[in-house]
């Protein structure tokens, strides 16, 4: 029988609190009983796996999914997916979704009166390569209001979902942008008690990768475990 890999428990305060009353939805959503840890078994390795065939390079360009150009500032987001020892995580499926430049999702429950963009769907996907590297092109997402409290606005962010080799290992988180004045006011961002851990959700501006006359670039590594790991709002692994 194969060894099940050792998984370090994240240090206290570095992951979001399930029950964080300033984030109002977390009150009803959070468990009332202590979590039960299920034993890890080989099913994490022998379940269904993703192939590469269905993920096309074009899926990683959210600016080219329609006939015209979307409105907004073009950006490139890139980085690496790493394990607790800094080794690349190859072949991970990354899915991203976000609001358009005006702060509106293409989704029926989003009734913000900002305009939809007929040339922007706001969803993409890609696989990490042999170096754990990923990259995609999109539009800088706008801030949007939400009903959590009076005058609540989400900082600009992109939602990320990561699947490992199988569909039983899924992580969900959000990436933010540097210098956003809404971050200190955001209950979701602040549901992570540890300041350094919170900052691990903030990408850095990358002038080296910025494309002249074309697109700003932002760099963001995702670390799956260990003391430096990325905060995840959802973990299934």
To the nearest 10°, report the CA torsion of 137, 142, 143, 145: -120
- Which of 80, 157, 200, 225 is flagged as catalytic? 157
- Residue 20 known to be catalytic: no
**Catalytic pick from 104, 125, 137, 159?**
159
Of 125, 154, 200, 225, the active-site residue reads 154
Q: Which of 20, 104, 137, 144 is catalytic?
A: 144
Report the Cα 131 to chain-centroid distance in Å: 19
The answer to whether residue 154 is catalytic is: yes
Query: Which candidate, 65, 13, 38, places its Cα nearest to that of 191?
Result: 13
Query: Is 105 annotated as catalytic?
Result: yes
Of 23, 105, 134, 176, catalytic: 105
Q: Which two tokens stand for residue 133?
A: 């590297």
Asked about 40 being catalytic, the answer comes back as no
Residue 157 bears catalytic tag? yes
4 token code pair: 């099940």
Q: What is the DSSP annotation of the chain? A: -PPPPP-PPPPTTSS--S--TTSTHHHHHS-SSPPPPPPP-THHHHS-B--STT--GGGGBTTSSSSSPPSS-EEEEEEEEE-TTS-B-TT-EEEEE---TTS--SSTT---SSPP-TT---EEEEE--TTSEEEEEEEPPPPEE-TTSTT-EEPSEEEEEEE-SBTT-EEEEEEE-TT-TTGGG-TTGGGS--HHHHHTTB-EE-TTTPBTTTBEEEE--EE-SSTTPPP-SEEE-
79, 220 contact by CB (below 8 A): yes
Task: Just list the catalytic residues.
Answer: 105, 144, 154, 157, 159
């Amino acid at each position: 029988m194969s060894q099940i890999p050792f998984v370090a428990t994240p240090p206290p305060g570095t992951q979001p609190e399930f029950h964080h009353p300033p984030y109002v939805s977390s009150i009803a959503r959070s468990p009332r009983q202590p979590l039960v840890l299920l034993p890890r078994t080989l099913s994490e390795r022998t379940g269904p796996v993703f192939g590469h065939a269905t993920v096309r390079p074009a899926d990683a360009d959210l600016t080219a999914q329609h006939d015209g150009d979307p409105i907004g500032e073009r950006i490139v987001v890139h980085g690496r997916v790493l394990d607790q020892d800094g080794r690349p995580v190859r072949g991970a499926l990354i899915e991203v979704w976000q609001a358009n430049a005006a702060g509106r999702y293409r989704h029926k429950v989003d009734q913000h009166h900002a305009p939809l963009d007929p040339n922007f769907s706001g969803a993409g996907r890609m696989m990490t390569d042999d170096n754990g590297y990923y990259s995609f092109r999109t539009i800088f997402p706008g801030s949007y209001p939400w009903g959590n409290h009076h005058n609540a606005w989400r900082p600009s962010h992109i939602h990320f979902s990561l699947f490992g080799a199988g569909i039983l290992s899924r992580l969900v988180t959000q990436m933010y942008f540097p210098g956003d004045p809404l971050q200190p006011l955001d209950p979701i961002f602040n549901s992570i008690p540890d300041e350094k851990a919170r900052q691990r959700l903030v990408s850095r501006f990358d002038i080296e990768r910025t494309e002249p006359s074309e697109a700003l670039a932002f760099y963001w590594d995702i670390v799956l475990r260990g003391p430096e790991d990325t905060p995840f709002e959802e973990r299934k692994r």
